[in-house]
Amino acid sequence: MSVSTAWPTSFAVNAWIGTGQEAATGELATGAPAWALRTKPPSVPGFLQPDMPADPANWRDERIGWGLILPEQDGLSKSALASGSDAPEPIRRLLADRGGPVFRYRPGSNFRTAVLRNWASGKDVAISASEPGVRPDGLPRYLLIYGGPDKIPWELQYMLNATRSVGRLDLEGEALENYIAALLDNWSAASSRIEQSVIWAVDHGPGDITALMRTSIAEKIEARLKSDSQLKDHVQYLNGSTAQVTCGQLIDALANGQPALVVTTSHGQTGPLDDLTAMGAKLGLPVDGAFTPLDPAQLLAAWSPGGAIWYAHACCSAGSDATTIFDGLVTAGSTIDLVLKGVAALGARVAPLPKALLGAKNPLRAFIGHVEPTFDWTLRQIGTGQHLTDGLRQALYDRLYQPWPVGLALRDWYEPIGSLYVQYESVLKDINAGKPVLDLALYYRLAARDRQSMVILGDPTACLPHLP
C-alpha cells in the first residue's frame, strides 16, 4: 500500500513513564496503514452499562407509562376491578388502545392517600415513592383519573402531582365519547391553529389582584410568545389595562383566530353565595372588565375548541372542594372567608366551563385551572417583590410548543411544592427558637397550597401539534 511523503515515521505523545527527560515515542508499525483504514473501533465489552434513560415525553415506553385511576366499588369481582370493565365504553376503548394498568382508589381504606390498588398484580402501589413505569409494582408517570372529585378527591390529585403527570376527566355520555374519540384520533379534525394564541387579561386597576395577574402572568407569556419568530405576529393580546375587556371580545378573538393556546387571567365567579344552584352553574367562570361572567353556551355557539389548550388563572376555574385548604387563614366574616365557606358548601365538583369545553363536539385538549382561589402573596416573593410565575411561562411556551405532553409541561410548576414545604418546616424551627419569622411561615405554606391546587383537566398526555 503506497503512502504519501507526509506519512509520519514516528510519533511522540504527552506521557512520561517516570524516568529520563524525554517524552514517550514510537515508530509506526508496518500494519499502521491497515489501522488507519478500520471502519470502526474495536468493540469494547460493556460491564454494568445502564440503558439509555427513557424519554419522559414518551408515555408508551414501559419505563414511563400511562395508567388509569378508577374508584373502587363494592360488589365488583377481582377480574372486573383489574380490567376496568365497570368503566364506560369510551374509557374501556381507551384502555384497550393504551394497554395501561388500572389502579383503584379505595375510599374506605386507612391508606387511601398513601397507596393505589393494582388488582391485576395484586399489589398496593405507593403513590409517593414507587418506581415509574408499568411494572407490577410501578406507578406510571402519566395518570388519568376518571371520575369527579366526589368519587376520587382532589386531595389525591394534589399528592400525585408532586411526582407524576396527572389529569382528570369528569364526563359522561356524548361528552365523554367526544373527548375520547378526539384523544384516540390525536385531534386529527382539530380546527385550532398552532401558530395562533389568545391572551385575555382583565385589569380592574392597581388596587385589584387582576392587575398583578396581568403583569405577572399574561404579559410574561405574551412577551415570550412574541419573542418567537413563528408566533409573534399571531398573538392576540386583549389588555385590560388599556381598555375594558369583555367576554364578547374574548369570544370574537377565539372564533376569528382559532388559537391553539388560550390564556385568561381574571376573577372567577363565586356567587351568589346564598343560592347554591345559581353559584354552581357559574362556578369559576372568568369574569370580564364589566363584571360579567363568560357564558359557556354563548361561547360554544360561536367557537369550536378544536384541540386547543386553555389556562385559566381565576378562582375555582377548575372546580370546588367540600373543605377548603385555607380554612382559618382569614378573619371570619371577611369577604374571602365568605367565599371560601360558600364555595365549600357546593361540595367537591368540576367547574362548568372545563366540562363544557372538554365535552364539546370538537373538544379542548386540556384545561388548566385552580380548585381554590389564588392569593396575591403567592404571585411574588414577599421579600423582593419578584414575580414567581416563571414556571407558568416555561410550561405554556417553552414546553407546550416543543411539543411536550401537557402533564410533563407543568412539571416546572409543581416541582417547587416540595421545596416550599421544606422551607416551611425550616421556618417552624426558627419560630420555635424565638426568631420573628412568622411571615415566612405564612408565605411558604400559602404558596405551596396555592400551587398544589392547580390541576389539569383532560388526559395528561395530550399535546399540541408541531409548529410547521
Do 461 and 257 touch, CB atoms closer than 8 A?
no
- Preceding peptide of 468 cis, ω within 30°: no
Question: Is residue 385's pLDDT more than 50?
Answer: yes
C-alpha cell, 447: 404558596
Do 316 and 268 touch, CB atoms closer than 8 A?
yes
What SS3 state is found at 368? strand
Quick one: pLDDT at residue 41?
46
- DSSP H helices, 202-358, are 209-213, 219-226, 247-257, 276-282, 296-302, 335-344, 352-358
pLDDT per residue as tens digits for the range 349-372: 999 999 999 999 999 999 999 998
- Of the candidate ranges 210-224, 310-324, 433-447, the one whose mean pLDDT is the lowest: 433-447
Quick one: pLDDT at residue 172?
98
pLDDT per residue as tens digits for the range 274-307: 999 999 999 999 999 999 999 999 999 999 999 9
Do 201 and 219 touch, CB atoms closer than 8 A?
yes
**Based on C-alpha coordinates, what's the Rg of the chain?**
27
- pTM, whole model, 2 decimals? 0.88
CA atoms within 13 A on the CB side of 156: 30
Backbone angles phi, psi at 129, to 5 degrees: -135, 15
pLDDT per residue as tens digits for the range 197-255: 999 999 999 989 999 999 999 999 999 999 999 999 999 999 999 999 999 999 999 99
Residue 145, beta-bridge partner list: 69, 168
- Preceding peptide of 403 cis, ω within 30°: yes
Do 296 and 356 touch, CB atoms closer than 8 A?
yes
Do 256 and 302 touch, CB atoms closer than 8 A?
no
